A and B are shown apart, each in its own frame.
Chain A
Amino acid sequence: MEIAIIKYNAGNTQSVLFALQRLGYKAVVTDDKKILSNADKVIFPGVGNAGAAMQSLQLTGLDKLIPALTQPVLGVCVGMQLLCNYSEEANTNCLGIINTSVKKFVSATKKIPHMGWNTIYNFNSILLDGVKQHEFVYYVHSYYAALCNASIATTDYILPYSAMLQQDNFYGVQFHAEKSAKAGDKILLNFLQLT
């Protein structure tokens, strides 16, 4: 199986690559459109600012390629947010694959970013097979995707929001599955084993 990790200037590729290695999978980190189009699985990581990340994708034309992919694609953290319509972060129009918007957490009492281990529930995807309801996963983020028809798992912080999303062959995890101990490993494995 060919696994490709999308290379661009906002990718947290090293941690994802290591997680795949621990699970016994090899992957290539690439921005080569042909390799990405032909891969069996594509992982779309992301850290940092959604606006800068979109700009980077636009410069290389990956913003056109990604929505056209037909194999399973997994967006992680900002990678997931970029799959959505719009992000309040830097007022960014994203890839528009998943019909929801990404908003900034607002709270007078809760700390932002939302950082640490929180629980996921309301599962609705085979990506969560073998994961317990209310299992803990590791989060670091200040923006969240609102709940919508594509939500396949929920987390509560300040308000309930999309922990995971799915639209057709596009999947997204807001938390860092690659740093989420056994639960994260299981979700990654489920993604890699999608047929």
Chain B
Amino acid sequence: MLAKRIIPCLDIKDGRTVKGVNFVDIKDAGDPVALAVKYAEQGADELVFLDITATVERRKTLATLVKEIAAAINIPFTVGGGITTVKDVELLLHNGADKISVNSAAFRNPDILTQMSNAFGSQCVVLAIDTKKEADGEWYVYLNGGRVKTSSTTIEWATKAVEAGAGEILLTSMNNDGTKNGFALDITKALTGLLQVPVIASGGAGNMQHFKDVFVQANADAALAASIFHFGEIAIPDLKHYLQENDILMRI
């Protein structure tokens, strides 16, 4: 049986982690490699690095960082942020990333999903979707880090993207992100029931029960969180033991 996965997410800017990381026992909380090692040792099943650097030097800095991370940890990791071409993907995979994630660029040109999966296999092509539930009750796709609304529903886009070559969906609910009120169970459940690829739920984790709910009620394959791990509000070993006690298969 496949274990459900717990995935910490690190935001990266100019090769450093950003957005409050507060680990008492790490001297340099801005060092993504040190944090990655820490999470791997604690039992994280996978890591996601999201690069939010806007400068032209971005590609080179990120490739160097990916290489350092790959050298340091013994679990798989995904890298996302600003990836638009097969060449971008090749550079990151070549430096040791296991998967890459694409978001807005794939929505604007779904053909890149096909190109990337043909070149490297769909298993390393993760499609990230930022989604928001509107007053009409539908979940819509947002682009550019949630700043641009589209008229596409999340179900339509996810279905099309998997046909195009996406091998996994990283679903972030903008309604839930940052609230600590739990994951978006309805849209996660809709996608896991519909798609033949794994779905990573993201946005809203505030306590251990939230993880249980998204695995049991929404059948998510993996759950991703950032701040609750970074600030030590939930320790990964405690979370995994709690979930195992609740009959959810965990790698412990």
Contacts and interface: CB of A to CB of B under 8 A. Distances in A.
Interface of A: 14-15, 18-19, 21-22, 47-48, 111-119, 136, 138, 140, 156-157, 176, 178-182, 184-185
Contacts of A184: 74
A164 to B, nearest CB: 18
B123 A156 contact: no
A105 to B, nearest CB: 12
Nearest to A23: B74
27 contacts: A14-B94, A15-B70, A18-B96, A19-B74, A22-B74, A115-B123, A115-B167, A115-B198, A116-B198, A116-B221, A117-B2, A117-B251, A118-B1, A118-B2, A119-B1, A138-B75, A138-B76, A140-B98, A140-B123, A157-B2, A178-B74, A179-B76, A181-B40, A181-B75, A181-B251, A184-B74, A185-B74
Interface in B145-172: 167-168
Interface residues of B, number: 28
Contacts of B168: 115
Contacts of A176: 76
Contacts of A185: 74
A165 B72 CA distance: 28
A40 B1 CA distance: 36
A181 B74 contact: yes
Given A47-B121, A48-B121, A117 B71 contact: no
A18 B2 contact: no
Nearest to A157: B2
Contact of A117 (B45, B95, B196): B45
A112 B95 CA distance: 26
Given A115-B198, A179-B76, A156 B1 contact: yes
A87 to B, nearest CB: 15
Contact of B5 (A14, A47, A112, A117): A117
A114 B168 CA distance: 12
Contacts of B243: none
A15 B251 CA distance: 22
Given A138-B75, A140-B98, 13 more contacts: A14-B96, A18-B71, A47-B121, A111-B221, A116-B45, A118-B1, A118-B3, A119-B1, A136-B3, A179-B74, A180-B74, A181-B40, A185-B74
A156 B2 CA distance: 9
A55 B1 CA distance: 34
Contacts of B221: 111, 116
A185 B221 CA distance: 25
Contacts of B222: 116
Given A113-B123, A180-B74, A181-B40, A136 B197 contact: no
Contacts of A112: 196
Most chain A CB within 10 A, of B167, B168, B197, B251, is at: B251
Nearest to B196: A111
Interface in B91-149: 94-96, 98, 120-123
Given A111-B196, A111-B197, A181-B40, A15 B1 contact: no
B95 A113 contact: no
Contacts of A118: 1-3
A55 to B, nearest CB: 17
A14 to B, nearest CB: 5
A115 B96 CA distance: 18
A48 B123 CA distance: 10
A192 to B, nearest CB: 15
Contacts of B40: 181
A178 to B, nearest CB: 7
A182 B98 CA distance: 18
A93 to B, nearest CB: 22
B74 A114 contact: no
Nearest to B69: A18
